[in-house]
Chain A
Amino acid sequence: MTAETAILMAIIVPLFGALAIVLAGRISPNLREAATAVTSISLIFVVWGLLPTIMDGGRPAIEVSELMPGISIAFKVEPLGMLFAALASGLWLINSIYSVGYMRGNKEKNQTRFFACFALALSATMGVAFAGNLFTLFLFYELLTLSTYPLVAHKGDAATVRSARIYLGVLLSTSIGLFLPAIIWTYSLAGTGDFVDGGILAGKLNDPEIGLLLGLFVFGIGKAAVMPMHKWLPAAMVAPTPVSALLHAVAVVKAGVFAITKIIVYVFGIDFLFDAPSSQWLLYVAAFTIIAASVVALRQTNIKRLLAYSTIAQLSYVIMAAAILKPLAEVGASLHMVAHAFGKITLFFAAGAIYVASKKTEVQQLRGIGRRMPWTMAAFTIGALSMIGVPPTGGFVSKWYILAGAFEANNLVAVFTIIASTVLNAAYFLPILYMAWFEREPAGGKEHGEAPFLAVLALCITAMLTLAFFLFNGPVIELESQVLSGVSE
């Protein structure tokens, strides 16, 4: 298989997987789960098979259809996209294992629709990751919104449908109202929307407008949940937990920050943006989002909503790191994308496992739960420590790089934000850990043990990954440094 066909396969495999899931779902649930497993394993083979090529500096590209002159559906794999695709496809397998345990343990309805839409969402994610130009990125970005809507609305009752309406409303209206005009503006300025090393806008746009265009992009990409476009993420928490775990901690939200990073690097160009004073606001907005979301998270009583606000803060870490526009910080941005993915998926897995085993959803109900569910809570602890940024977890590494970048740029705002948010993170995670491990369970609670085996297995794997990323983050750094030096021989 050549690298070019591998790109197409990465999008087609989950599509056919969705079809296979629908067909197999009519025969038996076990066959359906097998279809999911086979699809996600094949996807890993396809995507990870591309890794050596990219590491060697290859940039496979393929054009599918030219819609209008200059506007085409085209794919190109570059290090950032490779990283994102590898992350999403790898975690999909683990998430599928977890989903089976969760959905069966919870006796959810419409499981076939659930797994099929999940596969569709992954197909769209791969499209976002490998998009070779703005138009293709937009196409798959919208597909990702639409394919995750049924997952958010899964439960189907009135409250869920209302939340799903917020989800769809915010994401579609930002993307149509702001992202699309930004894209069309870019095309009309540059005559192209291709992602090119060093950007395509240099010399074509002047100062106040640069900040405006950047604003259209950043707020138009609502998936990145920069305030005030963040409301959809807490709303999306009505979805079953595997959806929150993979999509609303990894695939969908990361698609947002990934798209913003990609636009900063390949459309504006880091140097071009660094020289434009009007683009500075992005850093402050991201910093504000980090602090504000952390403060809101302090006051949440529902576990999943707390995690959602934590995600909003962590996403803006990536954006702030990218907006520092210094090499070390850019490395930190991609490291944080990965580290946060491992940590947050673990936290969501744990929250879901707690719900399956005990039907508990509130923070206050977690007193003494560490004794009943030691594995789950151990994993939760690791995830929480990674969010705070304590060694030896992945979160420490990325924070280190972002801080280093902030110092390099002499950016005290960024430094202060990182320190303040670390304190805030500790302030809302440590009490939970204390309650779970050291307080006594109130009398008369329900007797329960651990969640189903598959769910516990999955969250242990991701917890291990969170720890492992502390030591083994070399490939990510190497990929990212290729972006910065623009290697492409």
Chain B
Amino acid sequence: MDLLAHLPALQVVVPMLSAPLIVLLQPRGLAWAGATASALVSFAIAVTLTLAVLDGQTLEYAMGGWPAPFGITLSVDALTALMLLIVTGASAIALLAAKPSIDQQIELERQPLFYSAWMLAMSGLVGIVVAADAFNIFVFMEISSLASYILIAGGPDRRALPAVFKYLMMGTIGATFYLIGVGLIYMMTGTLNMADMEARLGDVTDINPVLVAAGFITIGLALKAAVFPLHVWVPNAYTHAPHMVTVFLAACATKVALYVLIRFDYMIFQAALVDHQMQFALFAMPLAILGILVASAVAMFEGNLKRLLASSSIAQIGYILLGASFVSIAGLSASASHLFNHALAKGGLFLAVACLAYQYRDLRLSQLGGASKRMPWTCAAFVVCGLSLIGVPGTAGFISKWLLINAALQSGPWGWALVAIILVSSLMAVVYIWRIVEALYFQPPTEEGDVVAEAPLQLLIITGLVAILNIYFGLFPQVPLELANSAASLLWEGAQ
């Protein structure tokens, strides 16, 4: 089909072009409708691309008809498709639910600009995923970062401003490091196209600049991906952002940077550098383990609901990195499937938080008493997504945890220690999720509002839907698993 061939480009172009158009949609509600429609179209494109990939195709698109090493190319393989589904899906679901919450948090006349920034952020993230050359990844990274600064600072919470300033600083450092690394590689190979880069690196004799480049790129992307201990920008940014922005960004923003990190490392450095697999494992594994344990421990003692979940996100990023650091197919497919499952669980949790925030101004756990009586459906959805985050069987989260433990067992003599760490951190997740559950269900009600008031139906239905998806993909995980498995074998072949 002819249109199919253009879909990789349209995936980026649709949200990008809709951004300026949305600014023009001043009348009440239209901006939201435009943004949602655009996100849904993007999601449909992502689904179509995924179906094509599942058929066994890898789609390549040369922008403007210029062939590969010279022109800009986009490519879509299994891992790309998985990420596209996550980014566009998270954006579409968040926007579908967003209207009541955004109406409450953002003045009407600023809304078109806000939604337009949302579209830019989304097109940037999508662009990072599909771009097949290192420089365009940087360009899209800047687009998405600048737009998400606006999104995070766009709410009524003034504390978002220092948070975003911190994010801006660290994000810029990360992007600069990345750019320095790419520059070094360009110096050595004369190309920016990633496939070409890999091929030409084989001929490079002086390997030291490439090694330095690998260091810069890995650290830069780890900053963007909030890998422990470079995560300090995350808690405040997630906590003070408008609630729906948190849903969107928590589900996909850091994962995209992690995606680039894993892809760059496996596809380029591991193939070109001797012993780099070992270097990567020794760099990533301790950070992943520390991240999992420290962030989970912080979450266990955190009192603010959103900040607690943000800490948990850092731990979950650790899981994804841990899987990748095993340097095995099993580990990679555990990582890839956790990308998807964590997006589902954490997206659902933050949606439920948005529902709660609609009625409760103060999101500290001590202020949430009696919520289960006032908002039974929201709380039920929260519990389901929380179970998925813990990794209880029958939910999506269990699938990736099973894969991860299996991969850890196969990873050599230290496998059992790794399994123990994963299990201990699961138990820590039980603790921090259950603290919330007890607050919602058993704490005596606070004075604030004795009325029974659920969140608006629109918000509630989508939240419930995501909760059901968490169960559905726990019982029928075939499609995401197939994507994750072929993504893993792609990366693995790339590394050889």
Contact = CB atoms under 8 A, between A and B. Distances in A.
A139 interface: yes
A123 to B, nearest CB: 12
A241 B387 CA distance: 28
B438 interface: yes
A181 B405 contact: yes
A297 interface: no
Contacts of A68: 399, 402-403, 477, 481
Most chain B CB neighbours (cut-off 10 Å) among A135, A143, A156, A172? A172
A201 to B, nearest CB: 16
A135 B393 contact: yes
Contacts of B423: 176-177, 180-181
Interface residues of B, number: 27
Best-surrounded residue of A165, A169, A180 (most CB of chain B within 10 A): A180
A172 B475 contact: no
B412 to A, nearest CB: 14
Interface stretch (B1-9, B155-163, B426-434, B488-496): B426-434
Given A135-B393, A185-B409, A173 B430 contact: yes
Interface in A61-103: 64-68, 71, 73
11 contacts: A64-B475, A65-B476, A67-B475, A67-B477, A67-B478, A68-B399, A146-B387, A153-B441, A161-B442, A169-B430, A185-B409
A64 B405 CA distance: 24
A181 B405 CA distance: 8
Contacts of B394: 139, 142-143
B419 interface: yes
A161 B387 contact: no
A358 to B, nearest CB: 29
A138 B403 CA distance: 16
Contact of B427 (A71, A139, A161, A173): A173
A172 B438 contact: no
Contacts of B475: 64-65, 67, 73
Interface class of chain B by DSSP: helix
A146 B392 contact: yes
Contacts of B402: 68, 71, 184
Contacts of A260: none
A172 B442 contact: no
A13 interface: no
B399 A67 contact: yes
B426 A176 contact: yes
A142 B427 contact: no
B406 interface: yes
A471 B16 CA distance: 80
A188 B415 CA distance: 13
B392 A153 contact: no
A312 interface: no
Given A142-B393, A165-B434, A176 B427 contact: yes
Contacts of A172: 427, 430
Nearest to A176: B426
A175 to B, nearest CB: 10
A168 interface: yes
Contacts of B442: 153, 156, 161
B162 to A, nearest CB: 37
Interface in A177-211: 177, 180-181, 184-185, 187-188
B406 to A, nearest CB: 6
Contacts of B405: 180-181, 184
Given A161-B442, A181-B419, A139 B430 contact: no
Interface in B385-429: 387, 391-394, 399, 402-403, 405-406, 409-410, 419, 423-424, 426-427
Nearest to B485: A68
Q: Which of B387, B394, B478 has the most CB of A within 10 A?
A: B394
A156 B430 CA distance: 20
Nearest to B416: A181
A441 to B, nearest CB: 38
Which of B393, B438, B442 has the most chain A CB atoms closer than 10 A to its own CB?
A: B393
Contacts of A139: 393-394
Contacts of B410: 188
A188 B406 contact: yes
A138 B393 contact: yes
B384 to A, nearest CB: 10
Interface string B465-484: 00000000001111001000
A367 to B, nearest CB: 37
A143 B475 CA distance: 14
Given A71-B402, A177-B424, A187-B406, 5 more contacts: A139-B393, A142-B392, A146-B387, A169-B430, A185-B409
Nearest to A150: B441
